[in-house]
Amino acid sequence: MMGYLRTAMLLAALTALFMGVGFLIGGQGGMVIAFLVAAGMNLFAYWNSDKMVLRMYGAQPVDAGSAPELYGMVRELSQAAGLPMPKVYVMQNEQPNAFATGRNPQNATVAVTTGILRTLSREELAGVVAHELAHIKNHDTLVMTITATIAGAISMLANFGLFFGGRDNNGAGLIGTLAMIFLAPLAAGIVQMAISRTREYEADRMGAEISKAPLMLASALQKIAGAAHRIPNREAERNPASASLFIVNPLSGARMDNLFSTHPNVENRIARLNEYAREWGLTGTRAAEPIDAPAGETYSGPWGNETRGRGPSSRGPSSRGPWG
């Protein structure tokens, strides 16, 4: 409950900041115009943000025929979470990562990279999928879309104010305009990051409850974080505003758990998951370390025989586990 209250307060602060920038530029009229622009941008993002981000990352849909293991896992975990079956997409990206998007649980998508399919064990991947389903269940995908849209609009208005602000029509003058230009985008980014970090902690907790395997999610986070800073995600680097969608920050060099990080420190997240496991009386063993095989070479992985360098449909017979 406190998490939702904190998110609501941060969203209110972001909205107030946006309207304040509009006031500094054009007084009361500018504030009204800023509000209307924000409403229009959010309406567009509400209906189209999922399609935009999937297209941005070149994600392709999969089904029970093309990716039976992955699709079946998502279906069973969705049932455990009490959610409609989301669409499932795979991104051809060597960096292990995943995200969820969509305006509501009835129009949601879970997207994973080919890198994560080759890096994690079946149980670890189930923990990641459960984390993304928790975002869907909590409506985080919509919240993060709204915050990203408003934060981007604040930066746009600040740049606009550089040329048209401070005309003595609002009493702010040069000092107010300069403060707006430099401080408003920074404040918007801080609020956006704070919201993102709050929702990641909550999704870890709920995802662990859905999968009933907090230690496997902790193991997955450790593997993903280790690989994410070695393997570049070029699409994310070109579009850093989308970084907050991923389970682990896909950008290089962002490891600090402070106001300037879109994600909590991975070690802090793992510590919380370990604490959940102790509280729930759960124990488990660590999954096998990722196998680093050359591209195109078949090897025995946690899901059976796999071929490096291909999508999930390339997987051969797999061993049965708790999710299928």
200 among the known binding-site residues? yes
Strands 304-307 and 87-91: unpaired
Q: Which residue out of 69, 123, 124, 132 is catalytically annotated?
A: 132
123 among the known binding-site residues? no
**Do residues 111 and 89 touch, judged by C-beta distance below 8 A?**
yes
Among 62, 68, 118, 97, which residue's Cα sits nearest to residue 320?
A: 68
Among 169, 160, 212, which residue's Cα sits nearest to residue 29?
A: 169
Tokens representing 309 are: 């360098």
235 among the known binding-site residues? no
Quote the CA–CA distance of 240 and 238 in Å, as a whole number.
Answer: 6
Q: Residue 123 catalytic? A: no
Number of Cβ within 10 Å of residue 106's Cβ equals: 10
Strands 108-113 and 87-91: parallel
Q: Is residue 101 helix, strand or coil?
A: strand
Tokens representing 213 are: 């395997």
Quote the CA–CA distance of 1 and 28 in Å, as a whole number.
Answer: 35
Number of Cβ within 10 Å of residue 29's Cβ equals: 13
Beta-ladder partners of 306 = 299
First to last CA, the chain: 34
Q: Where are the beta strands (DSSP E) in 68-153?
A: 87-91, 98-102, 108-113
Burial of 5 (0-12, 13-18, 19+ CB in 10 A): exposed
Q: Point out the annotated binding site.
A: 131, 135, 200
Annotated binding site for Zn(2+): 131, 135, 200
Catalytic positions are 132
